[in-house]
Amino acid sequence: MEKNPYSLAKVGLENNSILRPQRDCGFYAKYVFLFLSLIQFLIILGLVLFMVYANNHAAAETHLKGMTIWVEECRVKTGLLSKEKDNLTHLLNASRAESRQIQGQLNRLNFTSKLCTAEKLKLQGQLRQTETVYQNFRECSMLVNIFNATYPDKVNALQAQLKAEALKADLEQKKLAQENERLKEEIKKVEQKETACRREVLQVRTQVQKVGELEAKVMGEMQAVRQNLKSALETALPGQPIWMCNTEEVRTLQTTCLNLSKQLDGYMAGLGQRLEDRINAVGKENALLQKEKSACSQDLLERDHKLTAQEQRSGQEKQALQAACNTQTSKMYAEQHKLISEKETLRLELERTKQKCWSVPPPNPAIRPLGVPGASGGTNPIASSPGNFNPNTFNANWMRTVQLAPSNAFSDPGNLGVQRNSAPLGNTGSHRTNLGHTGFTRLEEGKKAVVANGTSPHQPLLRTVGHSSG
């Protein structure tokens, strides 16, 4: 009765106080240990914070020492850089002084070079003054020979180049013509395919139209059959009890008819979908073929433009080459005519000079100087020529075969002294005549002048090509 919970509700306050839980020492010890652990944690945390943040003075001293060492290193580097700057300044001053010396030497060398150039120009002027008619004639002859030798080669080369360009243009034209034919054939094939696709599209459209008409006709007939069947059933079974017995059969028949219409609808829908897919495929193929046709047409137009441009460019190149060939040919002909005229002028001048040389009247026809045919001493390249050596009766064609001496042959004072002081050739008879007083005197003067100039007294007037007077 005392432990029964039903009886506890009826007991008074004294009995309820007995059942309350008692708080022993463990309960209070638990809280004491909790507060002790909290105080211990706070003490440890304070110690840790003190150890971490209480060493500011030592860190500042360490940082100050590091900064002092860095300042000393910077001072050392500054001193080294100052020394290096001084060294570079000295080197710069030395290089400037050396540059000034080199500039002075360069100025002196430039002045010397100018003097040498002026002296060279003077010497070149003197050298140009020593040129003769023979050198000009020889140069003109060489130029004529060179032009005559190189003109056919250049013409042949230009003609070969022109032929090569023409062949290249023909090949390009043939290739473009073949490509044009190929593209035309492809266009024809594409047009044929397009025509066939259009025919197929028309056939498919006709089939779709026929199928639609057939579907409408079938649906109309099915509706009529359904109405007839319904009316027949209603007239045949106007409410008899057998109607209830054949309800399942009627439902089966109705279901079959409905399914038949659904099957026909599905078949017609599938057929329409297939026809639509076929039409779409044909349309896509037609669009693709149309695109290919436009691309082929564009390619054909571009190739036609390229062919036209290539033909125009080939024609222009051909005209340019022909014009260049004609211009070069005209220039070469003009130069050839100019050289021929210069050659004739030089030949006439040579003839006049030769006539002047041979038209000097002899002071005494009986004089026979040294070095002439029939004389006792000296050499003469024409000593073996018989007959009369009088310039009035001498053969002029023989002198044309002998080339004129260089310019210094007439400008050399030694040669001039010999020729001017020696008497002209006379008649070479079988008897010998004695030298006259005047001829002997001139001969002696000529010998003295020749000896003074260091020239052979028997040097002839005319020389072969390639020999100089020195």
Choice among 15-29, 34-48, 266-280 with the minimum mean pLDDT: 15-29
Question: How many domains is the chain built from?
Answer: 3
Residue at 424 is within a domain: yes
Domain assignment present for residue 72? The answer is no
In this structure, of 51-65, 108-122, 427-441, the range with the lowest mean pLDDT score is 427-441
Range of the domain at 44: 5-53
In a domain, residue 66? The reply is: no
Could you tell me if 319 and 386 lie in one domain?
no
Domain with 221 in it: what CATH number?
1.10.287.2610
The answer to whether position 19 is within a domain reads yes
Assess whether 317 and 441 both reside in one domain: no
Rounded to an integer, the average pLDDT of 178-200 is 83
Same domain, 224 and 303: yes
Shared domain check, 334 and 195: yes
318 in the same domain as 399? no
Please answer whether residues 423 and 362 qualify as being in contact, where contact means their C-beta atoms are separated by less than 8 angstroms: yes
Domain check: are 237 and 326 in the same one?
A: yes
In-domain check, residue 146: yes
Dist CA 131 CA 410 (whole Å): 11
Is it the case that residue 119 has pLDDT exceeding 90? no
Claim to verify: residue 228 and residue 172 sit in the same structural domain? yes
| 463: helix, strand or coil | coil
CA pair distance 384, 380, nearest whole angstrom: 9
In terms of phi and psi (left: phi > 0; alpha: psi -120 to 50; beta: otherwise), the region of 303 is alpha
Whether 227 and 309 share a structural domain: yes
Check whether residue 337 and residue 371 sit in a common domain.
no
Pair 145, 243 in one domain: yes
* CA atoms of 334 and 65, how far apart (whole Å): 99
Residue 325 contacts residue 187 (beta carbons within 8 Å)? no
Q: Do residues 305 and 403 both lie within one domain?
A: no
DSSP class of residue 20 equals: S
233 belongs to a structural domain? yes
pLDDT tens readout for residues 63-93: 788 889 999 999 999 999 999 999 999 999 9
Same domain, 196 and 274: yes
Task: Decide if pLDDT at 344 tops 50.
Answer: yes
As a whole number, the mean pLDDT across the chain is: 71
| pLDDT computed for residue 78 by the predictor | 92
* Residue with the larger pLDDT of the pair 390 and 206: 206
Residue 111 lies in a domain: no
Contact between 371 and 443 (Cβ < 8 Å)? no
The verdict on residue 127 lying in a domain is: no
Distance in angstroms (rounded) separating the CA atoms of residues 41 and 47 = 10
